[in-house]
Amino acid sequence: MDTHHITDVWDRVFSAQPGPSLWLVIVTGVLALGAVIPRTAWRLSRNAVTIAHEGGHGLVALLTGRRLDGIRLHSDTSGLTVSRGKPHGLGMILTAAAGYLAPSLLGLAGAALLGAGHTTALLWGATVLLLAMLAMIRNAYGVLTVVLAGGTFLLVSWLTAPEVQAGFAYAVVWFLLLGGVRPPFELQGKRRRGGPVDSDPDQLARLTHVPAGVWLGFFHVVTLCSLMGGGRWLLGV
């Protein structure tokens, strides 16, 4: 590969692109909302949130010095991330807290990139993250899900026109911001009905002696604030 080609690829990925029209931003937001609100659509689209959720656990585990043993994604949209290290301490706390926050924080970071005009960088960055996650997947359904997601990002970023790339990127970021809000509310409803006692907030309660309800409230605050802040960036207001 000659230096001219490398420069072309670099410019393509990291140069800023013109922002889309406001109508496209609004339409992609409505489409994302349609993937989050209806229960039938959510049963399918929630798989993408699970990828972000478990990827958040895995990434923070690595960043805090824990050993990541593997990630499993299941067809019922649940997932499991296994890491080794001290069963207590800041690293374990951050790892446990990362899951419910990851989709919204990824959406917020994506909104910042799109607000700065870096559509292609967002698409390629997402592809790299998915490829890195693929190396840690330990079941067939998880491999299939991540390969399909990563392949979609790669094909859109490489083969489609800038307008299509922008529409896809905005739809994905809107979905992460909106989709990140729903799981904490779902978990809250399950807890009211006497649901799971081994959820992330319950683990955090045992690690920190702070009630699980407080952690759940923290998840609500972060996901809703991310939606508001990211939405402002996307809309350019």
Per-residue pLDDT band for 148 (boundaries 50, 70, 90) equals: very high
Q: What pLDDT was estimated at residue 236?
A: 86
Q: pTM value?
A: 0.92
Do residues 67 and 84 make contact, with C-beta atoms less than 8 angstroms apart?
A: yes
In Å, the largest CA–CA distance within the chain is 62
C-alpha to C-alpha distance for 94 and 19, rounded to whole angstroms: 35
Q: What percent of the chain has pLDDT over 90?
A: 83
Type of residue numbered 23: W
C-alpha to C-alpha distance for 213 and 53, rounded to whole angstroms: 19
pLDDT at 9 over 70: no
Write down how long the chain is: 237
Per-residue pLDDT band for 82 (boundaries 50, 70, 90) equals: very high
Q: What pLDDT was estimated at residue 194?
A: 77
DSSP states along the chain: --HHHHHHHHHHHHS--PPPPHHHHHHHHHHHHHHHSSHHHHHHHHHHHHHHHHHHHHHHHHHTT-EEEEEEE-TTS-EEEEEES-SSSHHHHHHHHHHHHHHHHHHHHHHHHHHTT-HHHHHHHHHHHHHHHHTTB-SHHHHHHHHHHHHHHHHHHHHS-HHHHHHHHHHHHHHHHHHTTHHHHHHHHHHHTT--SSSHHHHHHHHHSS-HHHHHHHHHHHHHHHHHHHHHHHHT-
Distance, CA of 7 to chain centre: 30
Q: What pLDDT was estimated at residue 202?
A: 94
Q: What pLDDT was estimated at residue 15?
A: 66
pLDDT at 23 over 80: yes
pLDDT at 69 over 70: yes
Taking each helix axis from N to C terminus, what angle separates 162-179 and 182-192, rounded to the nearest 10 degrees? 20
HSE, side-chain direction, 13 A CA sphere, residue 18: 8
Do residues 208 and 96 make contact, with C-beta atoms less than 8 angstroms apart?
A: no
Token pair listed for 175: 């979905």
C-alpha to C-alpha distance for 208 and 229, rounded to whole angstroms: 29
Q: What is the pLDDT of residues 38-48, one digit of tens each?
A: 999 999 999 99
Do residues 160 and 148 make contact, with C-beta atoms less than 8 angstroms apart?
A: no
Average pLDDT (152-165) is 91
